[in-house]
Chain A
């Protein structure tokens, strides 16, 4: 089965710092999504990205978040100034096959 790869698997950052989470989706897929799961809670939709543009975003995805495709293959989720409540697992997904990466556990201290 094809895989979606996420790096890093775990990142610890200080409050107020910027973090960049990376995802390598399944090749030739134009769609990808980012989801978030706060510990003990449900998986929440953040944003969908189609053909190099944001196609939809949730209310969680405020101005501190951004997504990019910097080099044509990798996708990134950037959090500009992290807050304690940003601590969560972040998943990227290739929606057509519903394959999710293993996630990045972000811990803001």
Chain B
């Protein structure tokens, strides 16, 4: 079955430190990959997406992600986090499912930035 895995449910990190949120997907077909951020009591906001082309994708708020086909990964990184980055981050993949396309989400990673 096609799936998206986020191994870390919570990631605490000190302010101004770098962070990496891990995401792996399982699919035998081409995928489009996305990272979303969700602040408390709010909807999903698209951070960045990989559709094709350069494997290093830059998004909003200083985040970037690298698509690694051989490792089937799409890890999210930020060199220096701020308190305002405290939120839950979801990795998602658009894959073919039975001839139709479907977005599958990971279980989310809660990023807690410590002052």
Contacts and interface: CB of A to CB of B under 8 A. Distances in A.
Interface residues of A, number: 23
B10 interface: no
A99 B34 CA distance: 10
Interface string B46-61: 1001000000000000
B97 A56 contact: yes
Contact of A45 (B34, B98, B102): B102
A48 to B, nearest CB: 6
B105 A31 contact: no
Contacts of A42: 90, 105-108
Q: Is the interface of A mostly helix, strand, loop or mixed?
A: strand
Interface string B90-115: 10101001101111111110000000
B102 A89 contact: no
Given A56-B102, A98-B46, 8 more contacts: A42-B107, A55-B100, A56-B98, A95-B94, A95-B103, A98-B34, A98-B49, A102-B42
Interface string A32-58: 010100000011110010100001100
Interface of A: 31, 33, 35, 42-45, 48, 50, 55-56, 89, 91, 93, 95-96, 98-103, 105
A27 to B, nearest CB: 19
